[in-house]
Structure 1
Amino acid sequence: MNRRQFLAVGSTASVTAVVGCLGGGGDNEGDGYGPGTESEPEERSIDPSSYKTKTFDGVDVPLAPIDDVYYWYQRQEARIADARGADQYEKAHIAGAALSTAPPYTPDDDPVADWAKDQRIVTYCGCPHHLSGLRAGKLIENGYENVYALFDGFNTWVDRGYPLEGTEVSAKRTTYEIRGQADATYAGEMVMLKQLGADRAEAAPIADDGSYTLQLHYAGSTDSRFRVEAPDYTTEGTLAELTSNTVTG
């Protein structure tokens, strides 16, 4: 039986505890709120209008720094949505986060559809904010009024020892880079990386010269197969093959 673990790392020790059974992949059981703390941080002023923004599919998305997001999280003043795939979510995610995969893979039973449109929502992914930016942009387009993408990404959350849940929260992950080249006319568009046979996705933008770099934080084998989907080509290979040379289709 898979068990869902909760991991919280403090300044002096780490604690791993089993907190319940986890259903099959794709279970979006979180309600978006963190578990709360016995001593929440004192109230302070935050000015979201000062945040950097980035455009995703024509929508400007504000990028919230992790210090502000963690402050909201501790005070339960924001709901957190994981924009990655179901397999990534099942293995490790921000404690309490709901699964709300980025388009075009957003599920029909997306839990965020039931959230009030005036609530503060923060999306996140690991790349560090490409999938989360796509998800946040779609929410803004659909009328949600207070939406942000986590600027620093999920891996910074992990590195800081903030609360996690999942079946593999303690797994050691290696960072891989897949470098590729697309036609420069597609600058600004996204390249997607999908693991074959699993619900795992990453994304990266195409630079002005057509180059792109996909980052993957992965605990599996380099023999695992992935598909790179660029606007002008699609190619497949093992992780070892895709990281050994520049991908050109």
Structure 2
Amino acid sequence: MKRRAYLAASGTGALAALTGCLGVLGSGSSSVNHVGNLDADFAANADLPADDDPSDGYSPQYGDPETRSVDESRFGALEVNGETVTLVPVDVSHYWHQQGAARFVDARGLSQYKNSHIYGAVNSPATRNSQGGGISGWNEDDRVVCYCGCPHHLSSIRAAGLQKSGFSNVYVIDEGFFEWRDLGYPLMGTSFESSAARVIDGEVAASYAGEYAWATQPDSGQQEAAPIGEDGAFEIHLRFADLTDDTPIRVETPEFEVTRPLGDLTGGVLTE
């Protein structure tokens, strides 16, 4: 278990125009973005220790959390793309975050990550069928916590991909990113704002149960996914930045693909 502590950074909201340390790629590995290789000025939402290595997914230790017993036998789980993915409560993930005891992976699109993300997390988006591999340079035995905003569809897809590539200690934040944000836990970003949730209801043949429907904003790359239920129904919950009824959204299912203004996709059940 990796633990690190650093000197305090400058005051609340101080800009962190970090450069250097490139995201890592390797055979069978997924690309990684982080505040050190992105051309943006990031600010923290509180006084936080400096992060000397933004590519490693760890937050430096902060605060003074009391030692607590974590009973992982009480954690929930999901079956995703042939993998059993473990759900961790948001308060436990925050405890690990304070200790610098887990690497954090944001499974959303890059523009969502830039807008706001968990302090210290890297961006490694979910891919279809959990095809995203491991992360080069990370020990496969290290604790890794994935998250997204839906609250755990994209993150469970990404977690399954990590497990398929050999990572053995992977978790997903059960309540998702926005619960973390609403609790005032540490963030970094460029605005910390997001749109209210919008829902796309759809239906395909029941034979596609267990597969996924995806929604993507083509211009920004923001994406979300939802599993298809036993009756063929799905609900895609969007928490994208800068959404209006006129925003084009591409919906992809195993049965059809359409691109329409968001307002046209939220007025009923999408079937084609």
TM-score, normalised on structure 2? 0.79
Whether 2:25 is the aligned partner of 1:19: answer: no
- Once the two structures are superposed, residues 195-224 of structure 1 have per-residue CA deviations (whole angstroms, 9 ceiling, x without a partner) of 112221101111111111110113314211
The amino acid of 1:187's aligned partner reads A
Corresponding residue to 1:86 among 93, 100, 110: 110
The amino acid of 2:119's aligned partner reads A
Whether 2:64 is the aligned partner of 1:64: answer: no
CA distance in 1, matches of 2:85, 2:131: 21
Residue segments in structure 1 that go unaligned for 5+ positions in a row: 1-14
- Once the two structures are superposed, residues 148-169 of structure 1 have per-residue CA deviations (whole angstroms, 9 ceiling, x without a partner) of 1111101111111111111121
Give, in angstroms, the shift of residue 106 of structure 1. 8.5
Q: Is the Cα–Cα contact under 8 Å of residues 100 and 111 in structure 1 kept in the other structure?
A: no
Cα distance, 1:57–1:16 mapped onto 2, change above 3 Å: same
Cα distance, 1:233–1:103 mapped onto 2, change above 3 Å: same
| Aligned pairs for 1:1-249 within 5 A | 15-20=12-17, 27-29=33-35, 30=54, 31-37=56-62, 39-104=63-128, 112-169=135-192, 171-222=193-244, 223-249=246-272
Q: Which runs of at least 4 in structure 1 moved beyond 4 Å after TM superposition?
A: 105-108
Give, in angstroms, the shift of residue 74 of structure 1. 0.5
- Once the two structures are superposed, residues 59-92 of structure 1 have per-residue CA deviations (whole angstroms, 9 ceiling, x without a partner) of 0001111011000000111110001111111111
Q: Which range is displaced more, 172-181 or 129-138?
A: 172-181
Give, in angstroms, the shift of residue 47 of structure 1. 2.2
Q: Judging by fraction of residues, say which structure has more strand.
A: 1
The amino acid of 2:15's aligned partner reads V
Cα distance, 1:56–1:34 mapped onto 2, change above 3 Å: same
CA distance in 1, matches of 2:82, 2:233: 21
2:3 matched to which residue of 1?
none
Give, in angstroms, the shift of residue 105 of structure 1. 9.7
- Once the two structures are superposed, residues 86-105 of structure 1 have per-residue CA deviations (whole angstroms, 9 ceiling, x without a partner) of 11111111111011111249
CA distance in 2, matches of 1:221, 1:80: 27
2:45 matched to which residue of 1?
none
Residue segments in structure 2 that go unaligned for 5+ positions in a row: 1-11, 21-31, 36-53
Give, in angstroms, the shift of residue 245 of structure 1. 2.2
RMSD across aligned C-alpha pairs, in angstroms? 2.3
The amino acid of 2:108's aligned partner reads R
TM-score, normalised on structure 1? 0.86
